[in-house]
Amino acid sequence: MIRPGATIGMLGGGQLGSMFTIAAKNLGYRVIVLEPDASSPAGQLADQHIIATYDDETALQQMASRCDVVTTEFENISAPALNTLAQQTQVRPGPQAVEKAQDRIAEKAFIRQCGLLTAPYGIITTSSEIATAVEEITFPCILKTARFGYDGKGQVTVHNTEEVREAFQHLNSQPCVLEQRIDLDSEISVILGRNSNGESRCFPVAENSHVNGILHKSRVPANIPDTICQAAQTAATRIADKLDYIGILAVEFFISRQGELLVNEMAPRTHNSGHYTLDACVTSQFEQQVRMICDLPFGSTDLLSPVVMINLLGDLWGRNRPHWEALFSDPYSKLHLYGKSEARPGRKMGHFCTLTNDLEHAEKTADSIFEKLAAPDTASCKHS
């Protein structure tokens, strides 16, 4: 057991890192953040902020020598950097688990090796492979870069082979996955914690809605049959076991109109769709992350209240700040802002959760609040 008073290293200084830092400090740990952005949310809260790139050898040596365990807030840390740290201190989740989630080609192959279903797909690493890839799928499809794509970035919808060729060139001929678009009934996600003894605990399944490839809303409990919820949790646990995972793992699923449960992707970290746990569960995903990497017992994942979580993107700011009075006037809604210095379109600036005894009422209330937050400013500047 890594006890309170020890030092935890966090690779990444964004909002996931900042909420982890708060949870860790609440439990009595020191936190060192490695993040190149001097004004990062997690860096502002940490006991120490090492301002350097993630592959900076001096910075990695500092982390390794000062931290009892190191974790990550996103998956695109280079494998060599993680391996350097792992030679001198504990890295959880391990480099091999993180590396599998960095590349869609490797990730999808691994998911199928677990005996789980994915959407039909083909692999394109050169233009000569396009003809073979299109034989594996039915249009329309989505061409996705194998690496560094998230929140809809690095993705192009295509309807025929010629559009695939054009999109592949548009994506600079990077290795890609050509994935068949699914006739969706719903999208869900499972967040789980797994410890070094191989034991796992899942949080309640979230039902998610996306806008322009970015998560907009999560509803919990998910309005899907219990059998599908249980199957999704079983599938996520199988993935974690195959990875010999330690930490928090998020797995996103598609449910087709034919009732198929398809694994979309996994994230070796806390996840946007798990933010509801901050307000609606006994233990948040961030506290559970601390517990798992420090070999503490599980915190309860019980849901205390139905909840709807809505993302707040930089688009809301426009010329004025959102109309916060719409949110603060509702006593059952909780605001979380991430402390980012600049609002930009598509940038995650915060989220809020609305909790009531009735999920339908919570969703109507949350939707109404969001509409008011985003309403054009027709009043005086005192409302900005």
Q: Is pLDDT at 384 greater than 60 in this prediction?
A: no
Count of residues in the chain: 384
List the structure tokens of 174.
């990077």
Give the CATH architecture of domain 184-375: 2-Layer Sandwich (3.30)
Task: Tell me 281's DSSP state.
Answer: B
pLDDT-derived band at 341, boundaries 50, 70, 90: confident
Cα–Cα distances (Å) from 115 to 57, 106, 109, in that order, read 39, 15, 10
Please report which residue ranges of the chain form alpha helices under DSSP H.
15-26, 41-45, 57-66, 79-86, 95-101, 104-113, 130-134, 161-170, 226-243, 277-280, 285-293, 325-328, 359-373
Q: Is 268 exposed, middle or buried (0-12, 13-18, 19+ CB in 10 A)?
A: buried
Which of 256, 268, 257, 260 lies closest to 231, judged by CA?
260
**Entry pTM:** 0.93
Give the separation between CA 372 and CA 378, rounded to whole angstroms. Answer: 12
Task: Check: CB of residue 13 under 8 Å from CB of residue 37.
Answer: yes
Is the distance from CB of 220 to CB of 207 less than 8 angstroms?
yes
For residue range 118-130, list pLDDT tens digits in order.
999 999 999 999 9
Q: What is the fold, at CATH topology level, of the domain defined by 120-180?
A: Dna Ligase; domain 1 (3.30.1490)
Q: Given this model, what pLDDT does residue 150 score? A: 63
328 and 255 Cβ atoms separated by less than 8 Å: no
Burial (Cβ within 10 Å: 0-12, 13-18, ≥19) of residue 332: middle
**Architecture per CATH, 7-91:** 3-Layer(aba) Sandwich (3.40)
Q: pLDDT, tens digit, for every residue of 160-190?
A: 999 999 999 999 999 999 999 999 999 999 9
Sorted by where each begins, the domain ranges of the chain are 7-91, 120-180, 184-375
Give percent of the chain above pLDDT 90.
88
Using pLDDT thresholds of 50, 70 and 90, give the confidence band for residue 154: confident
